[in-house]
Amino acid sequence: MTDQQVLVKALPAEPPPAARPAPGRRRARFDRQRTAMLLFIAPAAILYALMMIVPSLQSIQFSLTDWDGISDTFQYVGLRNYEDILTSGRFWNAVRNTLILGLGSAVVVNAIALGVAMMLDKLDHAQGFFRTIVYLPALVSGFIAATIWKYVLNYNFGAVNSTLKALGLDAQTRDWLGDHDIVLWVLLFIICFTLGGNTTLIYLANLQSVPQELVEAARIDGASRAQVFRYVTWPMLAGAVTVNMTLMMIAGWTIFDQIMVLTMGGPGFISETMAFFIYKVGFGEYRAGYGSAAAVVLFIVVMATTMIANRYMRSREIQA
């Protein structure tokens, strides 16, 4: 038996044309497979539809009513809730805060995460240890992290102000969570601090998959470190940038727990975000119809901005 014969024998035999299932049987088998797949996903799909899709569609209905969220009855008020929202200074303040926290955290976290990922990538020793350290804050729930920050930043008892006073820097003490000039930036800092772990790991994974032959070729051609990053590494990370920016922006648009724990939207209304605004008017002020209308507007804003940003970022991606 020749080598070629052995190879041919090892390959699965091509069924003779007469042995192939008839098109009707193939279709029946395909239908069975599809039915099986549908049955497997049905329980989850039904639950998802009942828990997510139906309430989401219902909030469009409620957004056109004066429902207080408790009573059995409500009246349709047309687009009045939308008119009230779009003419409300409080709502636009929440939109502004959401944009600052959403876009701000997306940019800051991505910049810091990329820098940290590059440092981790260059580590020759104990990379696992440092990777764990970087990821640890992401394991703490936003609620718990915010509660810890609340104590750390307390004006009268907090560690930050106590340390500043101990160092003789009394003039630098601030009411970090109560000063309306800085509270939003303090929130941005806290949010960035908590959300960086996942982003760093995604960048690190992408950095480690950048083809080394491209890097070496660039270096042989005389490219500096900065030029290697600018013309080789950075374009290869475009996909990761798209994913990370999109995830961070969506997380930013729906920031709620940090606001709830740290400031309750205050002092006054100054640090309300759209998600907190919806919760506050819908649940705290018995205006579920109004809150639903705000939720619909938030959905449109999230969809529009994410799609625009995504389209831009995808346009600059290249395939490795």
Which residues bind to another protein, rule: CB under 8 A? 29, 32-33, 35-37, 39-40, 42-43, 46-47, 66, 68-72, 84, 153-157, 175-180, 261, 263-270, 279-280, 283-287
Residues facing 76 on adjacent strands: 65
Closer residue to another protein (CB): 203 or 290: 290
Contact 69, 59 (CB under 8 A): no
The dihedrals phi and psi of 76, each to the nearest 5 degrees, come to -80, 135
Closer residue to another protein (CB): 81 or 110: 81
State how far the Cα of 91 lies from the Cα of 93, in Å rounded to an integer: 5
Closer residue to another protein (CB): 86 or 320: 86
Closer residue to another protein (CB): 65 or 200: 65
CB atoms within 10 A of CB 299: 14
Q: How far is the CB of 268 from another protein (least distance, A)?
A: 3
Residue 304 CB contacts under 8 Å (≥ 6 apart), including other chains: none
Contact 294, 88 (CB under 8 A): no
Q: How far is the CB of 235 from another protein (least distance, A)?
A: 40
Q: How far is the CB of 176 from another protein (least distance, A)?
A: 8
Contact 102, 252 (CB under 8 A): yes
Q: How far is the CB of 180 from another protein (least distance, A)?
A: 6
Closer residue to another protein (CB): 216 or 285: 285
Angle at 260 between CA 256 and CA 263, to 5 degrees: 120
Closer residue to another protein (CB): 69 or 239: 69
Q: Is 70 exposed, middle or buried (0-12, 13-18, 19+ CB in 10 A)?
A: exposed
